Amino acid sequence: MKVVLTSCAAAILAACFLFTPSWAQENNPPMPGMQMPNPSPTPAQKEETPRNFSERKGWPNPVADNTTFDLLLFDNFEYQRAGSPDVLRWDILGWRGGDVHRFWFKSEGRQTTSSEQGSEFEFQALYGKLIAPFFDVQAGLRFDRRVQRGSKPKRAYAVLGLQGLSPYNFEIEPTLFLSNKGQVSARFTGTYDILLTQRLIMQPRLETNVATKKDEEIGIGAGLNDAEVGIRVRYEFRRQFAPYFGATYRETFGATHRLTVREGGDPAHFAVVAGVRMWF
């Protein structure tokens, strides 16, 4: 009789275990010494997982960092009212490439409205590489043409510089130039955006130029050549389109000041400006 009862109890326990739902088995681990049945492996478990997604045929690379982008920015595109002559001024840059390697081009200049006297035109073609977060090192060529009294001198330069966003959100652009006449010069440009509202933005701007030796043909002396400070207030109807107004003051110094006076130019002038900042 004991044997029969023992056999019935064992059969009942075995039946309870075999027909217990899977969720109950997960929440109630087996007792020590009890062996759990091995579930059948799924097809995904049977397939060996590759070490890298790109090793599996037909799968994309884990990080798509080779996409090509482009940008065209009219940073300053304005009319400067400075008495006589008035000036059309522009500062344009653009790039095409990826996150690390880019081709840059820049154009900067001024065109007087009454005559060509005092006009300046500049174009740069550069290769840029990301060397730190928000900073590109740039190298390439620059071409200049100036309209002086009775002449239109041209210059070509080798270029090496940086461009990026420094701590505290200053946009800076320090650059070195070596001309085909052997003159070494440098330029620093800095801007800072002050958000008065989400769309109304005030931007102070500083640009200054220095040279190691004079080049009288283009009206440049040794030392500090000039400095221009300005402030512009823009309203961004869209982020890509923002008309602005402001004021700017430019002055030449030292030997450059004397050369400018000798050529009949304006060594210092104040201008009220109105323009548009836009990008595509």
Give 196 or 59, the one with higher predicted confidence: 196
Q: Which residue has the higher pLDDT, 46 or 74?
A: 74
Evaluate if residue 12 carries a pLDDT over 80.
no
Q: Are 263 and 193 contained in the same domain?
A: yes
Angstrom distance (rounded) from CA 202 to CA 188: 20
- Residue 64 forms part of a structural domain: no
pLDDT confidence of residue 47: 53
State yes or no: cis peptide before 85, omega within 30 of 0. Answer: yes
State whether 84 and 193 are in the same domain: yes
- The reported pLDDT for the residue numbered 4 is 45
Report the share of the chain in percent with pLDDT over 90.
57
Query: What tens digit of pLDDT does each residue of 68-126 get?
Result: 899 999 999 999 987 767 889 999 999 999 989 999 999 999 988 877 777 889 999 99
Mean pLDDT of the chain: 83
Contact status, residue 273 vs residue 89, Cβ threshold 8 Å: yes
CA distance 195 to 200: 6
Could you tell me if 181 and 270 lie in one domain?
Answer: yes
> Does 118 reside within a domain?
yes
Tell me if 61 is assigned to some domain.
no
Q: How far is residue 96's CA from residue 105's CA, in Å, rounded to a whole number?
A: 9
DSSP class of 118:
T
* Contact assessment for residue 255 and residue 222, using Cβ atoms and an 8 Å cutoff: yes
Residue 223 lies in a domain: yes
Do residue 148 and residue 265 come from a single domain?
A: yes
| Sign of the CA dihedral running 154, 177, 250, 91 | positive
Check whether residue 129 and residue 37 sit in a common domain: no
Report which of residues 210 and 85 the model is more confident about. 210
Residue 63 lies in a domain: no
Mean pLDDT value of segment 6-26: 50
Which amino acid is located at 271 in the chain? A
* CA–CA distance, 4 with 107 (Å, rounded to integer): 101
**Side chain identity at residue 195, one-letter code:** L
pLDDT for position 23: 47
What is the number of structural domains in the chain? 2
Is residue 243 a part of any domain in this protein?
yes
80 and 42, same structural domain?
no
Residues 225-261: tens digit of each pLDDT: 999 999 999 999 999 999 999 999 999 999 999 988 8
Q: What is the pLDDT of residue 38?
A: 55
Q: In angstroms, rounded to a whole number, what is the distance separating the alpha carbons of residues 213 and 228?
A: 21
| Residue 16 pLDDT > 80 | no
Average pLDDT over residues 201-205: 97
Question: What's 133's domain CATH number?
Answer: 2.40.160.40
- Lowest mean pLDDT of 50-64, 66-80, 142-156, 226-240, name the range: 50-64
Give the pLDDT of residue 261: 86
Note down the domain range covering 26: 2-55
Q: CB 190: neighbour CB atoms within 10 A?
A: 15
60 within some domain: no
163 and 258 assigned to the same domain: yes
Identify whether 15 is part of a domain. Answer: yes
Do residues 43 and 90 share a domain?
no
Q: Which of 24-33, 90-99, 103-112, 207-216 has the lowest mean pLDDT?
A: 24-33
Rounded to 5°, angle at Cα 8 from 7 and 9: 90
* Residue 154 sits in the same domain as residue 91: yes
pTM score: 0.75
Chain centroid to CA 94: 10
Q: Verify that 36 and 76 share a domain, yes or no.
A: no
Q: Are residues 19 and 74 in the same domain?
A: no
Please indicate, yes or no, whether residues 13 and 115 belong to a single structural domain of this protein: no
